[in-house]
Amino acid sequence: MGTGSGYSLLETLAALVLFSLLLAAALPHLLPAGVGARAAAEELVADLHLARQLAVSRAAEYAVEFTPAGGPYTGYAVRPAGGPAEPGYPKQLPAGVEAAGPGQVTFRPDGSAQEDADIALVAGPEQVTVRVVGSTGHARVLP
């Protein structure tokens, strides 16, 4: 055996495991704030578009209803007016994300929404707003 001055395989693996654990613990703190709120807002916009598309294709009113009633909201469902939730709903917002705004957004068979709506999604100090334009039913995340 030589008297090398390098590290053994076992020492290198131990250092890698320790580094991995430290990185896993620090990673959530290294990510920019609001990632959860923005991702939740993008998913909500997709579900609002789905509700609008269902209203047009099925010639019936569809709503995105937020829960629990009275807020702050932690989940929502897409459903026809007075009917059961569509498959895959209700959905829960990611942990730490809450929403505020109207209790529901209803889309008409012509694709318009009953009214303009702003839904604020909050995760810690970060707030992201989803806007629904009543006349067109178009939903988007505001910059």
Query: What does the domain layout of the chain look like in residue ranges?
Result: 35-141
Tell me the per-residue pLDDT of 123-135, one tens digit each, with 9 for 90 and over: 989 999 999 999 9
pLDDT of 21: 63
Structural class in CATH, domain 35-141: alpha beta
Q: Give Cα separations from 85 to 27, 51, 95 (angstroms).
A: 36, 11, 22
Q: Starting at the earlier edge strand, list the strands of the sheet with 104-107.
A: 91-92, 75-80, 62-67, 104-107
Alpha-carbon span 39 to 27, nearest angstrom: 17
> Tens of pLDDT along 100-114?
999 999 999 999 999
- pLDDT tens per residue across span 20-46: 766 666 655 555 544 589 999 999 999
pLDDT in the model for residue 74: 95
Which of 98, 141, 97, 136 shows the shortest CA–CA distance to 118?
Answer: 141
Given pLDDT bands bounded at 50, 70 and 90, which one contains residue 16? Answer: confident
- Structure confidence by residue, pLDDT tens digits, 44-88: 999 999 999 999 999 999 999 999 998 899 999 999 998 999 999
Q: What's the pLDDT at 62?
A: 98
Instruction: Estimate to the nearest angstrom the gap between the alpha carbon of 44 and the chain centroid.
Output: 6
The Cα–Cα gap between 106 and 117 comes to: 10
